Amino acid sequence: MTSQTPDVNDVVNLQSISGWDLGMAAAVLIAAWIASIFAKKGMIALLGRLQGFSAGAAHLAARVVRYAVILVGVGIAFGFLGASVQPLLAVALVVAAVVFLALRGISANFAAGVVLQTRHPVNVGDEIEVDPYVGTVKELNGRSVVITTRDGRTVHVPNSQLLDHPLVNHSALGHRRSEISIRCHATLADLDTVTETVTAAIGAVDGVHRDPAVGVLVIAVEPERLSLVVRFWHDPLGGPAVTSEVVRAAAGALADTNRPAVVTSESAVPALIPPPVL
């Protein structure tokens, strides 16, 4: 029983290789080497523009890209030498599939991070709402958007979630509208006076924007009571503090005019209907 040793001719038929084939293979290898250098530098430059992407991760990704370019060049060079590149391509596809399945979540978040940082739907300092969280953006990185909620919690929201779910940016317009509800002891004849009193008091509160102006909506009119909703605009991040001052100012102004009132920042409940007179 004799053992057979692999012959180089089983892989490459040296007798059919011409000088032209050797020259082309060498040129491809040199071109692939040069292209891999530029690909690595380009990847580092691209990832360097993304916020929150570390230098170590950028160099690792760039190194993988460079090796991939060199591998492609080696495969093309073997093709000029008459070798079959199908096994190499099969192995490369299998490895690529395994890597894709293993890194699918990471790659999805990374791709979503690229979209977020190029289209800029959110920026550091914006207040956003991603169900069920509301908070201020503190960091944008390759995996997630880091927000701090109003009660002091830090939440890492995956980048893909911001693209797959509704995203509310409270800071995009530079101002935000809030409202309060007022029930005061007054009649319909007092409506204009009450409106002027409330509007002047709220308009003087520090933090309330003058444009758009304070608006008053009449919700219900009863024989001895008016139900109103007052809308006002303020800085996007100052909502709770400004609303608190607005409630105090409106209640104080109505008390100064001897009109007892209930002022709340919550939505008004339906007005009471007087019972029928029998």
CATH number of the CATH domain containing 46: 1.10.287
CA distances from 84 to 4, 10, 12, 31, 97 (A): 21, 10, 8, 21, 21
The residues of the chain scoring below 70 in pLDDT are: 1-17, 50-57, 83-92, 94-107, 267-278
Pair (151, 186) in one structural domain? no
Global pTM reads: 0.59
Domain containing 35 equals 10-102
Q: Give pLDDT, residue 243.
A: 94
Pair (193, 218) in one structural domain? yes
Please write the tens of the pLDDT for every residue from 75-108: 777 777 776 666 666 666 766 666 566 555 566 7
Q: Is 2 exposed, middle or buried (0-12, 13-18, 19+ CB in 10 A)?
A: exposed
2 in any annotated domain: no
Q: Give pLDDT, residue 256.
A: 94
Pair (188, 253) in one structural domain? yes
Q: Give pLDDT, residue 8.
A: 45
Structurally, the chain folds into a number of domains equal to 3
**Which of 149, 169, 189 is at the close of a domain?**
169
**Cα angle at 276 between 272 and 278, to 5 degrees?**
155
75 in any annotated domain: yes
Pair (198, 224) in one structural domain? yes
Residue recorded with tokens 């008053």: 216
Pair (65, 30) in one structural domain? yes
- Strand duo 154-158 + 144-149: pairing: antiparallel
